[in-house]
Structure 1
């Protein structure tokens, strides 16, 4: 029971840190904007699953999915350095990918999410 409470506190703390980074990033332009013919939930779940692949991302593997206020989903990494906003767009989805820097890890995350479109 104690481990569950501790885990919940750690997750809440990380979400707070990631949330402020994401808010700042959204004030600017996304790293990449993409589109999909698939439903928002399908795209978001696929991205989350892909970002959790330890064989690709090693110890940085991590993907968390939360509903967004606009009826879509946000998928993000532990520190919030990489995240995606998936929103409904007609019969499909609009995907806005944000990355802290133009780096090889950012490009690997982009490649992983592109397979979900």
Structure 2
């Protein structure tokens, strides 16, 4: 039981850090903006599943999905270094991908999410 409580506290602390990183990143320009004809939930679930692939991302595999205000979803990694905001536009979705830096891991995450469009 004690391990569960400690684990929950660690996750809560990390999500607080990730949340402030994401809020700051949203004030700038996304790394990439993409469009899809699919519904936001379908796109977000696909991205979340893809980002959890340990064969591709190893120990950095992780994808968490939360609803965002005004409809849509945010899918993010543990530290919030990579995240997407998936919002409804017309019959489809707009995907704003944010990455902390232009790196190979950022490009891998972009490639994984592009398969969901």
TM-score range for the pair, normalised by the shorter chain length: over 0.9
* Deviation larger for 63-72 or 106-115: 63-72
For residues 66-105 of structure 1, the aligned pairs below 5 Å read 66-105=66-105
TM-score (norm: length of structure 2): 0.97
1:34 maps to 2:34:
yes
Aligned equivalent of 1:64: 64
1:4 maps to 2:7:
no
Deviation of 1:100 (Å): 0.4
Structure 2 CA distance, aligned partners of 1:105 and 1:70?
30
Structure 2 CA distance, aligned partners of 1:39 and 1:3?
38
Structure 2 CA distance, aligned partners of 1:14 and 1:71?
24
Q: SS at the partner of 1:75?
A: strand
Structure 2 CA distance, aligned partners of 1:51 and 1:23?
21
Instruction: Encode CA deviations 1:71-97: one digit per residue, 9 max, x unaligned.
Output: 110000011000000000011110000
* Deviation larger for 7-16 or 31-40: 7-16
Q: Which runs of 5 or more structure 2 residues have no equivalent in the other structure?
A: none
TM-score (norm: length of structure 1): 0.97
Deviation of 1:10 (Å): 1.3
Corresponding pairs, count = 117
Aligned equivalent of 2:109: 109
Instruction: Encode CA deviations 1:49-90: one digit per residue, 9 max, x unaligned.
Output: 000000000011000001111211000001100000000001
Q: Which runs of 5 or more structure 1 residues have no equivalent in the other structure?
A: none
CA RMSD, aligned part only?
0.8
